[in-house]
Amino acid sequence: MRHWTEPKRTKARIEIIPMIDVMMFLLVFFVLISVNVIPALGLKTNLPKSSQTQELIAPVRVIVTMGKDGELLVDGNAVALDQVSAILREKQGVEKKKLVIVINGDDSVQLQRLIDVMDVIKGGGFDTLSIAAKKK
């Protein structure tokens, strides 16, 4: 009986060297982006000089939350209504940073409660308020 010689089958192998090359390329790319060697956005500019410049102070965001059971939170910390303006002054600091005050609350909070909180905030000298709402 005659047998055909079958070639030896080689097992499939996963080549790891090309995968290492790709991973090294990605690592180098992300390092260069994070060090700003490759500019991410915008144009590189040289600003003009002035002797009357002011430092730009970023506003501080404060969120006042009113719960449906009457609880009141400033940036997640429970406070009483009469403590709100003192806490806002403390967050404003000595430098008189601009505060962005956002009032949010449950939709079942009474309008009078909202007016009371707004009165305390405005009475403390903070006149810029925003009320958070969801889009319909």
| Confidence class for position 2, pLDDT limits 50, 70, 90 | low
User: What is the reported pLDDT for 74?
Assistant: 92
The mean pLDDT of 43-69, rounded to a whole number, is: 84
The residue among 6, 19, 97 whose CA lies nearest residue 58 is 97
Question: What gap in Å lies between CA 13 and CA 30, rounded to an integer?
Answer: 30
Strand partners, 103: 64, 131
In terms of CATH architecture, what is 60-131? 2-Layer Sandwich (3.30)
User: What is the reported pLDDT for 36?
Assistant: 67
> Is the full-model pTM beyond 0.85?
no
The mean pLDDT of 85-92, rounded to a whole number, is: 88
Between the CA of residue 51 and those of 54, 57, 58, 89, 133, what are the distances in Å?
9, 18, 21, 31, 43
pLDDT in tens, 98-119: 888 999 988 888 888 889 999 9
User: What is the reported pLDDT for 38?
Assistant: 57
